[in-house]
Structures are given as C-alpha cells and as structure tokens.
Structure 1
C-alpha cells in the first residue's frame, strides 16, 4: 500500500513518518470521535448535552482529534475542516462520519422494507444515491450497513436489518457496500466509505431488549450471525463498528477473541474498528473494567481504533504507555489505520473532498433520486391479505382514515437529514390517482396512541358515506429503532378500537400498515379484507402506496422476517432446529410433543410470504439426478405460469434440508431464489443449480464441510408453501 501523504500539512512524508512526528498526546487524540458541537465553525458549536469539560477534553485535544460524528452539510463541513486545519499543527484533516442508513435527504424505505424487495440491484442503487447526496454534503463515512441477523420483533432495531436469513442478509450486505463505496473509493467523489455494524450478534439480544446480553455458542455465531459481516468485508467495507452486547461473556468492545483473533487475524481485516457511542466506557457497567483506565486498556488491546463520544482513551492511554501497561506501537497501529483511510479518501490533498454547496443544491433530493426511492418503496411493500378488494377502482368512493392518512411520519428511524414536511403523504398520493379527488374522504380517526370521541365520530361519518374504507395504521417512528424495544407488539389499543368500530359498518376494509417490525396482528388480520404492509416507505411513501392500492403497480414484496401469531412465540423464525418430539410426530401422544397448548407453533405469516394481484401456477419440479457429488452438481427445473389477470413478479425460492448432520440442522435453509416477471398467461422455466458447497455447515469442531446423506430440496413461493424432492450427496 502506498502510504505517502503529500498535500495539506503533511508534505511528502510517508504516514509512518507523519506518525513519528506526532506527540503521544496528539496520536491519542486521533483516536477520539466527538460530535459536531465540539468543533469551531459548526453552526451549533458548544451546544451539546454534557459539555466539553464534563468529558475532560481540552481544546488542544479537539484540535488534534481524528473524526467528527454527525457532520453533514457542505458549507458547515468546509467551515469546520478549515478551522481545524488552521489549529492542527500537522495539517491532518478530520474524517466526517454520519448515520446515512437508508438515504440522506432522499429517504428510501427502511432496511427491513428494502429486504422485502429481494432486489439487490435496487438495494445497491439506494446506497449509491445515499452516498452521492452525502458525499456532496461533505460526509466521508457512513455508519452502514447494519447487517445484524434478527429473530425477535420486540427489538426495535429489527427495522435496520434486512431480516432473519443469513444467506439473504449476506447478499444485501454486499449490495449496500458496493452502493456506498463503488469500485474506486479513492477517485470516485460520489461515494463514501462504509462501516458495517454491529460486530457481532447484536440482533440476538435476550428478550429483544436493546443493549441486553447475547449468549451464543461459537458454532451458532458462525453459522447464522457472522456470514453477513464477513460478506461486507469481502466486498471491501472499510470500517467495522463494535456491538454494545456481550459475546461469550465479554462485551464486544473489549473482546480480544472476537476483534483481534477473529476479525483481524482470522479474517485479515486491517481497516478501522470503531466503538459504538459510549461503548468503551460502558465496559465499566458491564463489569469487566473497574474504571476508565482499565476500560481504555481493554478496548485498545481488543483492537478498537476509535472511541466514540467518551474520553477513556484521551484521559488514560498516555499514562498507560508511561507505566508500561500499553505498548505505544498499539496506538501507532490504530493511528496508521485512521490516517490510511484519510489518505485513501484523498483528504490530505483535498480535505473538503466532494463538499460543494452549489452542487449540493442540484444533487440532493433531486427528482431522479426521488423516482428511485418511489420504485424501491413500491417493490418493498408486502401484500399480506387480499379477499378480492384490491386493487381499488379509481371511481370508488373511499374513506381514508387513520393516524397515518395525512402523516409525514413515513420516513422511519435514522432519517435525520430527511424532512417529514417533504414526504408525500398517503392522502396526497391517493388524491393524485383517484378518478376524482372529491371521491376521497379523509379523517384521522385517532392518533397513534390516543384519540378523542370527536375524531372517532368524524371517521365513522366519513366511512358511512364511502364504498370502501382504507385504514392507515401503524407505529410512530420513535416506537422503532435504537432503544425502542416493545413487549407488546400489537397495534396500539386506540387503533384496534378504531378498527372494531368501523367494522360495524360491514363495508370492505383495506389496512395499510406503517411500522418497523413484524406485528402481532390480532384485532386486525381477521377484521380487514386486505392488508398491505408498507413499512416506512420513505420520501415518496404516498405515491408508492397509492400506486399499489389503485393497481398502477402490482405488489411484489416478500417477507424477510416472520410475522408471529402471538408475541409468546418469539423468537419465531423459519430456519429453526427440529426437536426430538416435533409437533405432529406420529409416534408421540398429542400432549407430549413440542407445542404450545394455547397457540400454534407456526407464525401467522412465514418468511418469504407475500401475495400479488395475480396468481402463479407452479409445474412439477424436476431434478436432473438423484445423486449429487462434489464434482457434479445437480439441476432443478420448474415451470411457472402467470395464471391470473395482471402482469406480476414472482419470487421463486429454493430451500434445502439436511436430514442427518453431525450436529442438528435447520428444518430448511434458503439457498437461492429467482425473480421472474410474467404477463397474464405467460410461462417461464427456471433452473437452479444445487452444489455440494451449498450443503456445507459448521460442525462441532467448527470445521466447515458437508456430510454425505439424504437431503430434501423445496421450491415454491415461500418457506411454507412449496413442493419437495429428495436427493443424496455422495462423497
């Protein structure tokens, strides 16, 4: 790697020479990340909870700090960078980092919704657009993608993941990294560096409670939770963020086995490792450090290069070096990794990189980007139920009722640069497509969590005058995301009461859901005639959802996270292990099997599920052979026909089950899928290749290989509804 650093303040010195010229205190300062208000030139300089003095950080430390959290806006970035370079004696520029998760100003659907598109090209395009808007606004690094595998919808951060399947999550991880970083980060000014998070297994927090304990076997960790992180790094992701949780009894931020041995030594990652907000100091709360000094020691030894928003490093690393408890070489390594990314981004030559206030006005939230958001939103919505009600005739008199009828709260969490005022509401979208805007009657009905008798009465009167009722229901965006765990994942009671009241009219009811997690749909699923899961669709929400409701587009989304029948089932997921007494076992008494006494074992809606306005007929699948070998894969062919009246897209899914492994294997695992667009009456033959490599897994000794024996392959429209064929692997 070329480590020369010509340009601003660095002269022609190599990076090691630059580091050698720095004092120990200046090097340590490179390892701290502070929020925007700490910096001169920022519009909100000095306005932060917990002022600089409370962290014990001097102005001199700020002048030599390495990176900024939450910086965006071309002119402000230029102002801050200019002031910083004037104060930094080495002329080392700042890295500007921010949470650009599912869009910058143009907000795309939340990641869980993007996952339901099963469309890697559109996912990559969304990240590319987010990067372009962020880059011109001065951002260098985004804290994305979040690739934590999720199985518990009580956890608020499922909204940031693409779902419960390791194979699919890994595909999305690669797509997002490609979109953010492109092929040539050094010269492509429209890209930003990506930071995969949260390493590792944050999505397995006990009871779905944020920041809670994670306790997994290493085999389970490697089998399910690590593949997506590894995929992001294989795609070239520049940074990794530590998780808040424990892994094998040790918090990730101080976990040498996880960070030094697995991430750096086994996987060969030599990029920047950054803590999450305050996670270094939280080692004290976890109980593996007595004080800030020990927290700093353990985090650095684990390989954490940047401490975010606490001051353990700044306060204690220098004295730890002086006492001989920390080798200065560890600090030098961390500084080198930080400076190397700055060099790769070209910041020594151009510390402002792509920040351009004039171009910013042209690029950010432009019509081209909004059109891409609209397309992805349409493909992310999932039709959960339809008893012949949808699509709506444009001539129908429709009552649009509910707290999301005219709400701009359709962006979802981590859309801090987006604007609810700029978001297209459902009412606006439906008025555009209705045959006559006067045919659309709009009433709120209730708020998200409370309501009044007057609101309910107005909604009832509107519904009485209409032919069909569209209910826009869901969760406030603050009910999702970080620190938003919910034990009760039903719709709020006031919304269920609205459903019950309007059901008395015996008119067709279409429910549109705006939410960030799978819900317990009791009180809605049986009452509504149709349900469209819209998630948080982003800036173009109203246009996208209205296009689906009126049939201008055909729903094609498929769930990537199971919807529970009841919260008591969770975690409930499709790729579970069987038991010695599975439900329905023929040799067991009815009571003495693994089942609930009061609810089904199966989710209400399974992984991969989603309806369309048309229907698809599957032919009998055929295998090219019944024996698979290492050298010779087998082929599966299946014909599919659009047997309905609308053109539509089907997502044909392939699952495999290993019947007798060295350790227990899931009842099925997604191995491949194909998306096919068919006109009414049109047919296509799809072909899948099944190889020995796809049948490998982690054994009890953590070796990764396949076992000879019997397998079943399933092909169909979701993880529940499919045809099955048998084959054997011979080795």
Structure 2
C-alpha cells in the first residue's frame, strides 16, 4: 500500500522509487477534505508471519466504512531464477485478510504480484478483487481511478489463474486429451463412496481434489458494467482460403455504469494434419458501451490468421470445419461454426 520500491516489480535496475506514487499517497491526495484515509501496515513484509500488526489493522477496519487490503509479493520474490514451490500468498497475508473480513465491512482485495497467485478461499471473504500485478511507478493514481469508480476496469487476464499449484501447467490453448473431463464426469474426492470399485468414478483425466477449470480463465476481467453477449453469427459460414471471415457479435451493457469490454473471438480447428488446440484466440477488440446500449461488434478475420505450423515446420492454412466462440474470456459459450474451403 505504501511501498514505492516494491510496486516497481522485478527487472527495474534503473528504476527510481522516488518517482513512484503509492496507493495510500494517491487516495489521500484525491480524497483530501472529504474522506479520512487511514493506513495500517498489518505485516512488516509480504513474507512476515508475525501477527503483531494485526490488532492495529483490525481496529482501523472496524472503525472504517470500506477496507482496502493490498497484498501480494515483494518484487524480489518474482523474476528470473526466483521460483516458488508454493504460489499462494506468502507469510500470514491470507490470515490477515480473513480477520479483516470479520469486521463486516466491504472489503476490496488488491493483489500486487509478479505471477499468478493461488488465492484459495479468499475470494469468498471479499467483495471485489483487483489483480494489479506489479503496476509500476503510477500504481497509486491508476488504482485510485479504479477504486473510486472514475474509470471502469478493462484489463483482462493474460494467463489462466490456477485454483491450486497442482493444476500447473494450466492454459486454455491445450491439446485435447484422449479422456478429457467434463462437468458431468468430474467427481470430487469428497463424493466418492467408501470401498468404491476402481472404475466406478469413470476413467477421465482430472485431479480428484480440485475442479478441472481454472479459478479465472484467460481473458477474464470484470468492469462496472453488466456486459452480456446475446448472439453471434457468421453471415458467410463458408469461405475460401485467402478470404476474410466476417463475425458479428451482439453485446449489451445491462448495468447502470459505462463499460469498456474486450470482445474476444476463439476458434477450434476440428481436424488438422497435426493436432490443434481446443481453442485459440484469433481476434479481440476493446469497445466502450454506455448503460443500456446494444452494440454490434464486427470482425473481419483473414483466413491466414488460422494458419499453423505443420510437421514440416512451415506455416499452412488447411481447409475444414471450425467451431467459433465469442465472449469475454476463453470460457466463452456463445458458439457458431464455419467452414474453410480449399482455393481451387
């Protein structure tokens, strides 16, 4: 919250912390004369397990209308050759957040970290999460804009966020396995009967103690609008290699606040000369949508954007059927299909 050096992140050998503006500094500047912004350190470092600072933090939480807990990793904990075997919040940070939640006040969790962290059950204890990574020298003004609602958050995850460290590697563009799990075939370890036969829970591939999906998928992110996807179409569902695929998506903001949505298009090549991922991002566009507005977002995707490297390591575009999804993340469900035809 008030660490000008740590918010710069790793690989900042010429970084000048004197130029940093911290969240505490910026919130006090922006709210001076209107709101009393109080700050307690809570923990000496992100790795600390000493709870001596908990009492002051809890006292301020009980005396406040809203609590912002800024957690994460110091910059030294990430970067090249700085791996961790456990990528949960280090130290006693998770315990501090849960105790702050006990104050019964709206609690916003801001995470500053150099990697995707496993947050465990913390999302169930807070009202909102801002994943800020290590945002650099202007972290304070940027976060203040978001926390005060002066801008609607529009960042999107560049990775899939794991539920546990055991899920790693986890990424949306994986190849299809021979026994992929589905919500219908997943059986949690707590639901298995005592003495169950070995094959009684099926033979698909998943971890028994965690859902096969990520905590948040690639491309995910919320804003202050209520954005919904209603329809997607390909006016010309058949196109020749060398032509452009037209995709039209209907997107509505049902919320009372403006939204900056990142509309994303994913495809799956159903049959290829080499195995293809279950989804690939082929296009995206940021659009501003006013409250109550219905907008139609049109993409023109060159067939060359569907190319991949064959066994000879040369790029190629192959004819065939494709599934296509449009939505706000790699977990989009609004689907259509098209076919790419060989150029005669």
Q: 1:468 is matched with which residue? A: 66
1:509 aligns with 2:118: no
Larger Rg: 1
Residue 704 of structure 1: how far off its partner (Å)? 2.4
1:417 aligns with 2:14: yes
Residue 420 of structure 1: how far off its partner (Å)? 1.9
For structure 2, the residue ranges without an aligned partner over 5 or more in a row are: 186-198
1:495 aligns with 2:93: yes
Contact 1:585 1:593 (8 Å CA) reproduced: no
C-alpha spacing 1:722/1:705, structure 2 compared with 1 (3 Å): same
Q: 1:134 is matched with which residue? A: none
Helix, strand or coil at the partner of 1:430: helix
Pick one of 471, 476, 482 that aligns with 2:80: 482
Contact 1:622 1:638 (8 Å CA) reproduced: yes
Q: 2:194 is matched with which residue? A: none
Where does 1:659-670 land on structure 2 (aligned, <5 Å)?
659-670=270-281
The CA deviation string for residues 244-278 of structure 1, in whole angstroms up to 9 with x for no partner, is xxxxxxxxxxxxxxxxxxxxxxxxxxxxxxxxxxx
Q: 1:534 is matched with which residue? A: 132
Q: 2:193 is matched with which residue? A: none
Q: 1:627 is matched with which residue? A: 238
Where does 1:144-163 land on structure 2 (aligned, <5 Å)?
none
Q: 1:553 is matched with which residue? A: 151
Pick one of 290, 301, 305 that aligns with 1:679: 290
Could you tell me the TM-score, scaled by structure 1's length? Answer: 0.43
Q: In 2, Cα distance between the equivalents of 1:585 and 1:467?
A: 40
Q: In 1, Cα distance between the equivalents of 2:52 and 2:201?
A: 51
Helix, strand or coil at the partner of 2:52: helix
The CA deviation string for residues 610-649 of structure 1, in whole angstroms up to 9 with x for no partner, is 0001112323111112212124333111122222111221
Where does 1:43-442 land on structure 2 (aligned, <5 Å)?
405-408=1-4, 409-434=6-31, 436=33, 439-442=36-39
Q: In 1, Cα distance between the equivalents of 2:152 and 2:214?
A: 25
Helix, strand or coil at the partner of 1:497: helix
C-alpha spacing 1:662/1:688, structure 2 compared with 1 (3 Å): same
Helix, strand or coil at the partner of 2:239: strand
Contact 1:655 1:714 (8 Å CA) reproduced: yes
1:615 aligns with 2:226: yes
Pick one of 257, 265, 269 that aligns with 1:646: 257
Residue 708 of structure 1: how far off its partner (Å)? 2.2
Residue 502 of structure 1: how far off its partner (Å)? 1.7
Contact 2:7 2:137 (8 Å CA) reproduced: yes
Q: In 2, Cα distance between the equivalents of 1:701 and 1:505?
A: 62
Helix, strand or coil at the partner of 2:59: helix
Task: Report the number of matched residues.
Answer: 327
C-alpha spacing 1:660/1:586, structure 2 compared with 1 (3 Å): farther
Q: 2:164 is matched with which residue? A: 566
Q: In 1, Cα distance between the equivalents of 2:77 and 2:296?
A: 44
C-alpha spacing 1:511/1:593, structure 2 compared with 1 (3 Å): same
Q: In 2, Cα distance between the equivalents of 1:680 and 1:722?
A: 23
Contact 1:663 1:700 (8 Å CA) reproduced: yes
Residue 683 of structure 1: how far off its partner (Å)? 3.1
The CA deviation string for residues 12-33 of structure 1, in whole angstroms up to 9 with x for no partner, is xxxxxxxxxxxxxxxxxxxxxx
Contact 1:496 1:523 (8 Å CA) reproduced: no
Residue 438 of structure 1: how far off its partner (Å)? 5.4
Q: 2:41 is matched with which residue? A: 444
1:543 aligns with 2:141: yes
The CA deviation string for residues 462-491 of structure 1, in whole angstroms up to 9 with x for no partner, is 111112211011100000112211111110
Q: In 2, Cα distance between the equivalents of 1:672 and 1:572?
A: 21
Contact 2:111 2:131 (8 Å CA) reproduced: yes
Q: In 2, Cα distance between the equivalents of 1:616 and 1:565?
A: 25
Q: In 2, Cα distance between the equivalents of 1:575 and 1:706?
A: 18
C-alpha spacing 1:631/1:445, structure 2 compared with 1 (3 Å): closer
Q: 1:724 is matched with which residue? A: 335
Residue 586 of structure 1: how far off its partner (Å)? 8.2
Residue 709 of structure 1: how far off its partner (Å)? 1.9
Could you tell me the TM-score, scaled by structure 2's length? Answer: 0.90
For structure 1, the residue ranges without an aligned partner over 5 or more in a row are: 1-404
1:713 aligns with 2:317: no
Q: In 2, Cα distance between the equivalents of 1:695 and 1:521?
A: 35
Helix, strand or coil at the partner of 1:674: strand
Helix, strand or coil at the partner of 2:140: helix
The CA deviation string for residues 146-197 of structure 1, in whole angstroms up to 9 with x for no partner, is xxxxxxxxxxxxxxxxxxxxxxxxxxxxxxxxxxxxxxxxxxxxxxxxxxxx
Helix, strand or coil at the partner of 1:650: strand
Q: 1:238 is matched with which residue? A: none
**652-661 or 621-630: which moved more?**
621-630
Greater fraction of residues in helix? 1
Q: In 1, Cα distance between the equivalents of 2:281 and 2:210?
A: 26
Greater fraction of residues in strand? 2
